Amino acid sequence: MEYELWYWDGIPGRGEFVRLALEGAGIPYVERARGPDVDDNALVDDMARDRPHPPFAPPYLVAGQLTIAQTANILLFLGEKHGLAPTDTAGKLWVNQLQLTIADMVAEVHDVHHPIDSSMYYEDQQPEAKRKAYSFRRNRIPKYLGYFERVLEAQGDWLAGGTDWTYADLSLFILVDGLKFAFPKRLAHVGKNYPRVMALHRKVAELDALQDYFKSDRRLPYGDGIFRHYPELDEA
């Protein structure tokens, strides 16, 4: 059985958290809403299909008879099934907890450039975005990155301890990577306060298992998705 990943084409977005876990573990999958032969409406049409467990939003993963949505839920499934997280209750819940905290920050990053209405253009909510970006840079980046730094101080190289990554480590890589892209001045300024978080980012960037993916066109560049670089929203 080959997994089918459904996510908007053209941006890494939340699909990237699933994609990186699949790629890092060498799990075969096919993108169902990307590629030259895919109809532009394929994803919207598939979402509207009758199924017992419909997704509210992409990404979702079709695994045989199962359709699984919500990024953290997909990763919980893949983590258990493919050993991408500890198998004991405490370790499994811990990695899920970390993933949900990462998801909270991802939602906040998105809302910096869309504080009023996710269906409106950035340009139509730019004054509000500037205000929100100020508090995000000042308060939220240190709060979240300080938390993950504290976790790594206690756990070691990886968020759940041990000698190997879990899916939450790959997700933290994406978060830090996206923050460095979106807020380069701020991350250059505060990054030194979070040496363990930055080291984790480098270690994932260098994982043998991900080198082919990083060089391939399966990895999409940042664009009009969650992580956007608007110079007017960044400051040291």
Q: Which residues bind a copy of itself (CB under 8 A)?
A: 50, 52-56, 65-66, 68-70, 72-73, 76-77, 89-90, 93-94, 96-97, 100-101, 104, 107, 111, 115-117, 119-120, 125, 128, 131-132, 135, 139, 144, 147, 150-151, 154-155
Burial class of residue 87 (count of CB atoms within 10 Å of its CB; 0-12, 13-18, 19+): exposed
Closer Cβ to a copy of itself, 44 or 205, answer by number: 44
Closer Cβ to a copy of itself, 89 or 216, answer by number: 89
Closer Cβ to a copy of itself, 3 or 210, answer by number: 3
CB of 169 to a copy of itself, least distance (A): 15
CB of 38 to a copy of itself, least distance (A): 24
Closer Cβ to a copy of itself, 172 or 210, answer by number: 172
DSSP string, 2-30: -EEEE--TT--TTHHHHHHHHHHTT--EE
CB of 97 to a copy of itself, least distance (A): 5
CB of 22 to a copy of itself, least distance (A): 17
CA 122 to chain centre: 21
Question: Under 8 Å CB-to-CB from 190, ≥6 apart: which residues?
Answer: 141, 142, 145
Give the DSSP letter of residue 152: H
Question: Under 8 Å CB-to-CB from 83, ≥6 apart: which residues?
Answer: 25
